[in-house]
Structure 1
Amino acid sequence: MSMYGRDPWGGPLEINTADSATDDDRSRNLNDLDRAALSRPLDETQQSWLLGPTEQKKKKKYVDLGCIIVSSKIFWWTVIVVAGAGVLAGLIAVLVKFVPHHHDHKPTPDNYTAALTTALKFFNAQRSGKLPKHNNISWRGNSCTKDGDPSGQFKDLAGGYYDAGDAIKFNFPQSYAMTMLSWSVIEYSAKYEASGELNHVKEIIKWGTDYFLKTFNHTADTINVLVSQVGSGDTSGGMSTPNDHYCWTRPEDIDYERPVATCSSCSDLAAEMAAALASASIVFKDNKAYSQKLVHGARTLFKFSRDQRGRYSASSTEASQFYNSTSYWDEFLWAGTWLYYATGNNTYLQLATTNGIARHAGAFWGGPDYGVFSWDNKLIGAQVS
């Protein structure tokens, strides 16, 4: 059987059944062609045609830096962080360069600041004992380092302050001076700090309180004696015994043994020393151990002053000649006030506000000494504080 049709190239197309292959033959021929085509290696593009969506080539998970291979995630995070830090540093540099600066210049010292610095140097000049290297007085050196009673209770009494141009150490006016310095720090510590003198004045106070702790048994709860004076200025007995008024000389040149005066009935002295330690304990409240030591000593001294009534100068000719005490009632008020501030114990407040003690101290009458605040009369200080 023959079939005629139109040849797409313009000629007749004849299909002869004899020449045509069967369907099975045609299928086998196609399979052979497919295997031949697949046997050839496919290029990358052709492979992409054959791969399904889940078979796409995975991205690289690591970055080769030559000397080390790191995770690509870590690498890019590192790049971002470094870049961000660089931008931040640049912004800070720009701000520092172009933003106006406000400098807190230390104010020029005025006359009062200069006077404060000079006044405090007086205490450096009056120091006794082995001096610290930063004493700031070039012409002063160690002096009277052997003060004390070698055979008695108070063997080491080096330290403290000389009273004036001589080298006598009177505890009564000395403890008053330390109380006043502590009070000034409590009230005006910011002013001291602004003038650069806060640490200086605290060192001055501690030099005094360290010495006071040597002049009685500060670890005991009860005492019966304390030191009132070291050195002597009495020349009434003639010039046979060297003392601080026998020959005016530098403290550094004193090489003789100096007498130690003690008292067992000295309410005024003990109460004033209690006020000095109690007020100083507030100054050194940040040093808990030292502050508590001062408070304990103040309590002991105040108890002694109340138990053993009497004026310290009544039994000492030399004390009455140089620093005579006229009463001890004002010291009771003064010490009670500072012990209340140091401890918060209302017992001391009640004592300091007792009408009977205030009356004995002259609070209700206008005597010649009323209103005069001094080493002898602390009434006004107790009333103000």
Structure 2
Amino acid sequence: MRLAPPVGLMALSIPAIAQLVPSPTYNPPPAASGTVKSSSSPNPQWSNVLGNAFWFYDAQRSGNLDAGAYPNRVTWRNNSAMQDGSDWNLDLTGGWYDAGDYIKCLFPLSNTLFALSWGALTHGRGWDLAQQSAYLDSTLRWGFDWMMRAHPSDDVLFVQVGDSTIDNSYWGGDQNIPTPRPSYPINSSSPGTDAWASTAAAFAMASLLYTPGVSYVPISGASPPSSPSLGNSTYASELLSHAKTLYATANQTRPFSLFAHSIPAVASAYTATNYTDKLAMGALSLALATNESAYYADAYNFYQEFALTGSNDPWNWDSRYPALYVLFVEAAKTRPNLATGAGLAVNLTGWQTEAEGWFDRIVNGEDSKQHFMTPGGLLWFEGWSDESSLIEAMSASMLFYKYAPLASTSNKTSQYQEFAQNQVAYMLGNNPMSAVYLVGSHPNSPQNPHSAPASGGDNINAIRTQPPVEAHVLYGAMVGGPLQNDKFWDWRDDWVQTEVALDYNAVIPFLASWQLINDSPDPYYVNVTANTYYVPSGDPCDAALPCNGTGNGGLSDGAKAGIGIGVILGVGLIIAFIWYIRRDQIARWWRSGYVRPH
């Protein structure tokens, strides 16, 4: 059922606030440069990983591509979707396309912007070293400015632009995106606790990042970018205002509800499992941004009330549990007054125990049914990694790196850093396929990511083969990743393995920044021999390309069901045949009262 536009909702204009201008302009180097060893500092290879990651976000932009702090630098992209929001008399142009398609989705975007902001808050020096701080500013502003437009009044938040069904029926460039492109809001009548709270957390974390002279030092040397600084009190206040309003709406609107339940039309794109961890994350982020204990008390009470302890879930667009644990530890280190002001113990040791429980269960191989290592060494979360394996492993790596200096023992610090290093190395080529899973970084990078605008194709029935080779290089994009058997099919129509997405890339800048700050040697891909990746034989047998009986990736549910039915029918035929040839004897047994021999 379509919602009526809220009374008084008018076109919203976000005032321009001075942004940093990148200088010099960064453009990705050719993939062949990924085979060149580095000897200088800061390491240019890691700087390219960081720079390419932001270039990917530019390639995903929607709206007027020259509207930011610098002109469009992705030559094959065009202005698009310039009427978004017109169905509500609003300007919802801008923002980013979510993945390889043309819908815009706020819920996963909120976690993407949270991750970018949180990483830069403590490891901003890496952005400075790579000369990418201005691009960080531009990327965050592009996302947050759109989210401000998507939040035109206290309870109204637009969670999606574009119809998933219409969008999934189109494969082509950005000049012929099909219409209509409806916009879907939640409000007090159609609530979405999860979306309100998650977006509040992102706004709050960014507000902290943009606060001039912010002091947030959970570990030695932690700082936001300083050369140039992102500090901007006006922008920080705007971000915080949205955070407070959204959190208040989430906390006060009862009963709590999931946005996809209130707006079924968007459920096929993203449906959250719950709202509990999002409420706690929203409250805790606001506590840090405002230094107000009331928010901390809310976060603690949500943690207790909803029994958020002991989760084995990953950190991703749906689950916030392990990130919440780490953030509680950071709060105990940087803002102990938040707990005492709420009448609570600071409890640093208790929060360390909670966080380290999650890390240790992974490192020590506990709860192996929920998470384990693939034969080639990739961290795998059962039920989560099946349709995008790398995002869970890379998000975990960010948490391992971020938390390691806060660990209770030096041995754990070393363990956690080593684990993260191995996961990042896997993503960058140290895997059975010798695949480098960042597009355009190396000759072994994926050549055919599932991206409609980058592909150059327009035949939805021949996505893999038309054109034979991707028309444009989508530099910096991390693809979905390999299957549980470590095999990777670089096929454009296999969206499980080759699709790109905003949230997939959310932690890549932090991972590169960590390496730059720690003066790490070259990324693993520099040592990978060019052109040694090959497409495996057979079929993937994944959700995008279910097994046809010849694949190497395991049988699909349908194939297993078919085999089961075949076995049942076969047994039935055998029984029928035996009955036919011995029907006279069976009849005599029946008439005489047959007793089974002992």
Asked whether the two chains share a fold, i.e. TM above 0.5, the reply is yes
1:193 maps to which of 128, 133, 151: 128
Return the offset for 1:381: 1.1
Going from structure 1 to structure 2, the CA distance change for 1:127 and 1:342 (only over 3 Å counts) comes to same
2:314 maps to which of 329, 353, 372: 372
Match of 2:543 in 1: none
Match of 1:134 in 2: 71
Structure 1 segments unaligned to the other structure (5+ residues): 1-104, 235-242
- Whichever residue aligns with residue 317 of structure 2, its letter is W
**Are the counterparts in 2 of residues 277 and 297 from structure 1 also a CA contact under 8 Å?**
yes
1:173 maps to which of 105, 108, 124: 108
Counterparts of 2:40 and 2:172 in 1: how far apart (Å)? 42
The alignment's TM-score, normalised by the length of structure 1, stands at 0.64
Matched ranges for 1:19-30 at <5 A: none
Matched ranges for 1:1-385 at <5 A: 107=41, 109-132=43-66, 133-150=70-87, 152=88, 155-217=90-152, 223-234=154-165, 243-254=166-177, 256-264=179-187, 265-285=191-211, 286-308=231-253, 309-354=256-301, 357-359=302-304, 361-366=306-311, 370-385=312-327
Counterparts of 1:252 and 1:129 in 2: how far apart (Å)? 11
What is the percentage of aligned positions where both structures have the same residue? 28
Q: Which moved more, 1:160-169 or 1:276-285?
A: 276-285
**RMSD, matched Cα:** 1.9
Going from structure 1 to structure 2, the CA distance change for 1:300 and 1:121 (only over 3 Å counts) comes to same
1:293-337: per-residue Cα shift (whole Å, max 9, x none)?
110111000011112221111123343322110111101111112
**Are the counterparts in 1 of residues 170 and 178 from structure 2 also a CA contact under 8 Å?**
no
* SS of residue paired to 1:253: coil
Counterparts of 1:325 and 1:244 in 2: how far apart (Å)? 21
Return the offset for 1:226: 1.7
Moved beyond 4 Å, runs of 4+: 359-362
Going from structure 1 to structure 2, the CA distance change for 1:180 and 1:361 (only over 3 Å counts) comes to farther
Going from structure 1 to structure 2, the CA distance change for 1:111 and 1:371 (only over 3 Å counts) comes to farther
**Are the counterparts in 1 of residues 65 and 79 from structure 2 also a CA contact under 8 Å?**
yes
* SS of residue paired to 1:229: strand
Going from structure 1 to structure 2, the CA distance change for 1:380 and 1:291 (only over 3 Å counts) comes to same
Counterparts of 2:59 and 2:113 in 1: how far apart (Å)? 15
- Whichever residue aligns with residue 199 of structure 2, its letter is M
Going from structure 1 to structure 2, the CA distance change for 1:252 and 1:279 (only over 3 Å counts) comes to farther
Q: Which has the higher strand share?
A: 1
Going from structure 1 to structure 2, the CA distance change for 1:359 and 1:135 (only over 3 Å counts) comes to farther
Counterparts of 2:82 and 2:146 in 1: how far apart (Å)? 12
Counterparts of 2:90 and 2:310 in 1: how far apart (Å)? 45
* SS of residue paired to 1:375: coil
* SS of residue paired to 2:158: strand
Counterparts of 2:175 and 2:205 in 1: how far apart (Å)? 31
Counterparts of 1:323 and 1:342 in 2: how far apart (Å)? 28
Return the offset for 1:134: 3.2
Q: Which has the larger radius of gyration?
A: 1
Counterparts of 1:169 and 1:248 in 2: how far apart (Å)? 16
* SS of residue paired to 1:187: helix
1:67-121: per-residue Cα shift (whole Å, max 9, x none)?
xxxxxxxxxxxxxxxxxxxxxxxxxxxxxxxxxxxxxx97263543322222222
Going from structure 1 to structure 2, the CA distance change for 1:338 and 1:364 (only over 3 Å counts) comes to closer
**Are the counterparts in 1 of residues 167 and 178 from structure 2 also a CA contact under 8 Å?**
no
- Whichever residue aligns with residue 137 of structure 1, its letter is V
* SS of residue paired to 2:159: strand
Counterparts of 1:137 and 1:191 in 2: how far apart (Å)? 24
Counterparts of 1:383 and 1:148 in 2: how far apart (Å)? 37
The alignment's TM-score, normalised by the length of structure 2, stands at 0.42
Counterparts of 1:278 and 1:351 in 2: how far apart (Å)? 15
Return the offset for 1:161: 1.0
**Are the counterparts in 2 of residues 371 and 380 from structure 1 also a CA contact under 8 Å?**
yes
* SS of residue paired to 1:262: strand
Counterparts of 1:363 and 1:111 in 2: how far apart (Å)? 39
Aligned residues: 262
Structure 2 segments unaligned to the other structure (5+ residues): 1-38, 212-230, 328-598
